[in-house]
Amino acid sequence: MTLRQATDFAQLSALVKQAGLLERRRGYYAARIGANLAVYAAAWVAFALLGDSWWQLVVAVVLAVMTTQLAFIGHDAGHKQIFASKRWNLITGYVHSGLIGVSHDWWVGKHNRHHANPNHEDEDPDVDISVLAFTQRQGEAKRGPLRWIASHQAALFFPLLLLEGFALHWHSIRHSGRERFLMIANVVVYLGVVFWVLSPVYAIAFILVHQGLWGLYMGCSFAPNHKGMPVLSAGHTLDFLRKQVLTSRNIRGGWFVDFLLGGLNYQIEHHLFPSMPRPALRHAQVIVSEFCHRRGVSYAQCGLFRSYGYVLEHLHEVSAPLRKAAV
């Protein structure tokens, strides 16, 4: 790493701070949180009023969307984007975690390790997933059914995301520590309410749609950010700026994609400045992309559906040796 590389991030940080992009945006978050909670509560009111009906599947779809939107707020709170006070960010995170049933402490710890070493084969927990292989070394280590799944992972990727919501609940209960009783209570109350209002067939269908689509939405929001980008290994010499930029991908699409992905579409800016409030990211994107262009740093961005294409192409390529070995 050269001296110039070492000072690049300091110069970029100065530009971002001069633009006021690290200042809290409490008004934005008050409106966003209020709207989310209002729609979420209205969906549960509709659930209670509809009773035992197939129309409940429409409510399940709405709840899947809103559960993800609540998770985005929990994500922002975990990065201290909302308040200057650590205490109020924690309270906001715990409240949203309690509503969706994902441990705030467990997820923040895991996510911080990801931010410290994005796409690192040995140190990023987001590329250490039992049913997927992001490098050929990971693929070669798979055994039994996991090896078969990894060998067909491109075709199975989106179906597997339907299980992500259930996996998040399970890992939260298993690893949540002091939040464990809150996570268990979330599951017990959720199941109790659903089976109290709905007959068994409707209840099971409601749960599968709600939790399945929530997992799919979550996975589709996070997968484009790094999957298919360079995977780092021990001994790399990238400085902080290049490590974050070269392993991340932005998604184009305007205000709708901003809403749909909860600001995660500005993944490069988010990784460089994790505490930056969500509405400031699109302004930072202009500064960061121009800075990277001047420094000759590759800056990846594409459309949403093209990003999924990159993800599937990478998964298919990595798993090719496993398919050949099985023939």
SS3 category, 152: coil
Is the pLDDT assigned to residue 1 strictly greater than 60?
no
pLDDT digits (tens, 9 = 90+) for 155-189: 999 999 999 999 999 999 998 888 999 999 999 99
Phi, psi at residue 273, to the nearest 5°?
Answer: -135, 75
Say if pTM beats, i.e. exceeds, 0.85: yes
Tell me the CA distances in angstroms from 175 to 25, 52, 179, one per residue in order: 32, 35, 9
Tell me the CA distances in angstroms from 121 to 129, 133, 143, one per residue in order: 11, 10, 18
What residues contact 50, with CB distance under 8 A and at least 6 apart?
56, 59
In the chain, how long is the greatest CA-to-CA distance?
67
Domain containing 104: what range? 3-326
- Per the structure, the count of domains in the chain is 1
Tokens found for residue 73: 């707020």
State residue 260's pLDDT score. 96
What residues contact 199, with CB distance under 8 A and at least 6 apart?
52
Cα separation, 311 vs 80, whole angstroms = 29
SS3 category, 230: coil
Q: Average pLDDT, stretch 44-62? A: 97
User: What are the DSSP calls for 147-188, one per residue?
Assistant: HHHHHTHHHHHHHHHTTHHHHHHHHHHHH-GGGHHHHHHHHH
For the chain, how many helices (H) and strands (E)? 17, 2
Look-up of token digits 């500064």: 287
Cα separation, 270 vs 108, whole angstroms = 15
State residue 81's pLDDT score. 97
Nearest to 16 by CA among 301, 290, 244: 290
Sign of CA dihedral 72, 283, 82, 301: positive
pLDDT digits (tens, 9 = 90+) for 203-261: 999 999 999 999 999 999 999 999 999 999 887 889 999 999 999 999 999 999 999 99
- Amino acid at position 256, single letter: F
Cα separation, 163 vs 140, whole angstroms = 24
Nearest to 325 by CA among 177, 112, 133, 187: 133
Q: What share of the chain is helix, strand, coil (3-state, %, to 5)?
A: 70, 0, 25
